[in-house]
Amino acid sequence: MNKTNKIRKLISLWLPVLFWCWLIYFLSSIPNLRIEALGFWDFIFRKFAHIGEYAILVLFLFRAFRGRLYFWPGFLSFVYASTDELHQLFVPTRGPSLVDMLIDTSGAAIMLIVIKISEKNSKKVVEKNEQLRKS
C-alpha cells in the first residue's frame, strides 16, 4: 500500500471518531438542552442519549483500532466521558455529573459486549459453513 492510500485509510478510520467527539462536545456546550414540555420523559430521553452517544463512540473507536482491541476503545470512551463532564463546568446552566459519566461509560460497555457477542456468533456461522462444505 502506498503512502497516499495509507493516509486515506487512516483518515477513513479516524475521521468518524473525531467527528463524533466534536458532536458530543458541541451538544454538551448547549446551555439548557432540555425539552420542558416532556417533563420526566425529557430526563429519560437524555439518559438514553448518553448511552447511545457513547455506544456509537466506542463502535467508531473499535473500528479505528481495526477490531483488534477491546481495551483502548473502552478506555478512551471513559476518558472522553470524564473530560466531557469536566467541560460542562464551563457551560452556563450545566455542570459535571458522575452519574452521567457512568451512564456514558455503560453505553460504551454495552456496545463492546454487543460487538463481542456478534463476533462469536459470526465465527460460529463461518465454522458451520466450513463444516457443511466439507461434508
For residue 82, how many other CB atoms are within 10 A of its CB?
15
Domain total of the chain: 1
Tell me which residue range forms the domain holding 41: 3-134
The pLDDT value recorded for residue 38 is 76
State the pTM of this model. 0.87
What pLDDT tens digit does each residue of the chain (135 aa) get? 688 888 999 899 999 999 999 999 999 999 887 777 778 888 899 899 999 999 999 999 999 998 888 999 999 999 999 999 999 999 998 989 999 999 999 999 999 999 999 998 888 777 777 777 777
The pLDDT value recorded for residue 2 is 85
**Lookup: cell for 48:** 438514553
Alpha-carbon gap, residue 84 to 74, rounded angstroms: 15
Q: Which amino acid is at 19?
A: F
Output the CA torsion sign for 3, 5, 9, 11: positive
The pLDDT value recorded for residue 132 is 73
Determine phi and psi for 31, rounding to 5 degrees.
-70, 150
**Lookup: cell for 38:** 416532556
